[in-house]
Structure 1
Amino acid sequence: MAVRLKPVRDQIIVVTGATSGNGLATVEEAIRRGAAVVATSRNAAALEALAEGMSAGGGRIAICVADISDPSAVERIATVANDAFGGFDSWVNNAGAGTYGTLERVPLADHRRVFDVNYFGVLHGSLVAARHLRGRGGAIINVGSILSDRTIVQQGPYSATKHAVQALTDTLRMELEREDAGISVTLIKPGAIDTPFPEHARNFMDQPPRLPPPLYAPSVVADAILFACETQRRTLYAGGGGWLSSLLSRAAPRLSDRIMEKLGTVLQQKPKDPGDPARRDNLYVPRDDALRGSQTVHARDSSTVLQVQKIRPAGLFLGILAAGVAVSMTRLGRRRL
């Protein structure tokens, strides 16, 4: 069957990781546009506060406390959606966890935990969503990262999971297309976004972590996610800085590595601004959630690259632009190396 997606205002949307950062921005904007939302998170208190606030404004919202690394918990999310709204139209796999530190310093158990959340959580959500949407149609949106394209020092486990999420998403898309399931599958690749991620991540560096600039507001990612809920797209980059970083790494990988080796650590440390201690380290248990980080940063409220991708000829435009930049970067990299 052909993929037919409803306008956001007519949809029921499942959002994981709904009480913080990109997930919270998506829930708020989806409800503002008229959608009903099933919001899920490990943080019961934050979910209840979110539901109370959205309902008070007339929003339609159901909540489900769930750790997406647990397959039975993910099944429960679908049950809540069916009980509250009779099903769902889009499923957004957004929840994530991370660490800062070298591969050697991060304990193996923490490597596994990041994979349990970021890869297996997305796998659980994707399979449950596909089973419910198959034959009815709808959208599955997976939130990857610019780190799906290249890795960054001090975030090896997180980068590895985002590479895996890209492979998972591409495989899922092919399988569903082959069976003509009528389901759109999109991978969102945010750059650095001003969320509590640096505070939530477990830190093994000797300095407080931060995200490298340029940063964008969570509303940019929410815009990409909700666009994908109603418009079939393969991939959407949220933030021009991340897109350029990806392009550089493809055009001149050795040059990109050298830059990362020299600047990657210092750009991810903020010695005099550690952020809110109540948010620190949510790898295994929830901590305080919020829309944005508490560190002092500058974040852009819009992304020109994202807006260009939302135009139908955007793929051709970006392809031509990417080819030109890639040629230039390759020549520059060869001269420098």
Structure 2
Amino acid sequence: MTLHRTPGRGTSLRLKPIDRQALVVTGATSGNGLAIVERAIRSGARVVAVARNDAALDDLRTRLSANGGRIATVVADVSDADAVEQIARTAIAEFGGFDSWINNAGVGVYGSLEQVPIADHRRVFDVNYFGMLHGSLVAARHLRGKGGAIVNIGSILSDRAIVDQGPYCATKHAAQALTDTLRMELEREGTGISVTLVKPGAIDTPFPDHARNFMDRLPRVPPPVYAPDVVADAVLFACAHPRRTIYAGGGGLASALLARAAPRVTDRIMEAVGRKLQQRTEKQDNPERRDNLYEPRADALRGLPNVHVRESSLAVQMQKLPKRAVGMVLVGGAAALAMTIRARARR
């Protein structure tokens, strides 16, 4: 068992290596969640995989258990607090409990704030925020005293809003506040629970195809695009090593630094090209197009073909360094970026 320092406090945390952990993963049959489950199983962890799609869960359990993976599954919508309680009961029944809980489930809507119906705004919050809250509270209750990790999936949009994803951006800002508040309150109690927010950038998942869309063209994630395994790498590291925040992808980290150093410049960029960067050339002209906002649909690991995808991220590896070294790198990078922007502004 490894000994690590709690972020922001002098007490110590003892987090198990991944191969000795049982993990709960929500949103487990698609994109980042599926990558997390598969990487965890390859690393020797036991996994409780959670999703709304029962057929996809059955396929996942059959495929991974056939290769010796120890996996249990739960069909649940995380917006339902009672269903989240059942996840914990299953983990206890199957594996005697859990060591890390990963709140990954999420849904999205593309379109301006005025275009998106209020009911859809609420649904995004029900899943992305209240689902995370339900999971965090259940996890904290079960981990209190014995210790462990809660890893929440935020986004670079936790730092910076963009056009045409207002509801999603709002929930990811809320995820930042929830995670920070939870961390402080658990540290104040000396619970021994690590709380991390992982912030993916643009990731090659089916998210654009799954999201409800009110734009006139089909959505996409803007470049640079990273593989879901980049997120899985960051998440599993956080399960065994306390960190406040990990950015999954150097492109997202650079965007966050730019937004912090020059918010008005970023506004102007978003206003000018934000929608175009999130659109494909194909028009949104299929009235039968299905999304997963209220009901599950076909799941997959990756998104659209013919997209250049970066399979690894140096930024993630840098953030695995001791926290003091990471801080020096980030501060130095932010200062250099700010100086460059100001110098160009004077020209």
- TM-score, normalization by structure 1: 0.96
Q: Does structure 1 conserve the Cα–Cα contact (< 8 Å) formed by 2:22 and 2:45?
A: yes
Bigger shift: 278-287 or 226-235? 278-287
Which of the residues 16, 27, 35 maps onto 2:37?
Answer: 27
* Alpha-carbon distance change, 273 to 39 in structure 1, aligned in 2, over 3 angstroms: farther
- The separation in 1 between residues aligned to 2:342 and 2:73, in whole angstroms, is 49
1:260-299 superposed matches below 5 A: 260-272=270-282, 280-299=290-309
Query: Tell me, which stretches of 5 or more residues in structure 2 are unaligned?
Result: 1-10
Identity %: 68
The residue that corresponds to 1:39 in the other structure is 49
1:193 counterpart SS class: coil
Q: Does structure 2 conserve the Cα–Cα contact (< 8 Å) formed by 1:278 and 1:288?
A: no
* Alpha-carbon distance change, 324 to 102 in structure 1, aligned in 2, over 3 angstroms: same
* Alpha-carbon distance change, 176 to 304 in structure 1, aligned in 2, over 3 angstroms: same
The residue that corresponds to 1:143 in the other structure is 153
1:60-75 superposed matches below 5 A: 60-75=70-85
Q: Does structure 2 conserve the Cα–Cα contact (< 8 Å) formed by 1:140 and 1:183?
A: yes
The runs of at least 4 consecutive aligned structure 1 residues that moved more than 2 Å come to 271-274, 276-280, 326-332
- TM-score, normalization by structure 2: 0.93
The residue that corresponds to 2:172 in the other structure is 162
The residue that corresponds to 1:132 in the other structure is 142
The residue that corresponds to 1:327 in the other structure is 339
2:219 counterpart SS class: coil
Query: Tell me, which stretches of 5 or more residues in structure 1 are unaligned?
Result: none
- The separation in 1 between residues aligned to 2:289 and 2:61, in whole angstroms, is 21
- The separation in 1 between residues aligned to 2:258 and 2:140, in whole angstroms, is 34
Which of the residues 185, 193, 200 maps onto 1:175?
Answer: 185
Q: Deviations over 1:58-102 (max 9, x none)?
A: 000000000000000100000000000000000000000000000
Q: Deviations over 1:93-140 (max 9, x none)?
A: 000000000000000000000000000000000000000000000000
The residue that corresponds to 2:102 in the other structure is 92
1:119 counterpart SS class: helix
- The separation in 1 between residues aligned to 2:70 and 2:110, in whole angstroms, is 37
- The separation in 1 between residues aligned to 2:88 and 2:223, in whole angstroms, is 37
1:69 counterpart SS class: coil
* Alpha-carbon distance change, 294 to 211 in structure 1, aligned in 2, over 3 angstroms: same
Give 1:294 shift.
2.9
The residue that corresponds to 2:61 in the other structure is 51
1:250 counterpart SS class: helix
Tell me if 1:190 matches 2:212: no
- The separation in 2 between residues aligned to 1:4 and 1:221, in whole angstroms, is 23
Give 1:322 shift.
1.7
1:208 counterpart SS class: strand
Q: Does structure 1 conserve the Cα–Cα contact (< 8 Å) formed by 2:133 and 2:178?
A: yes
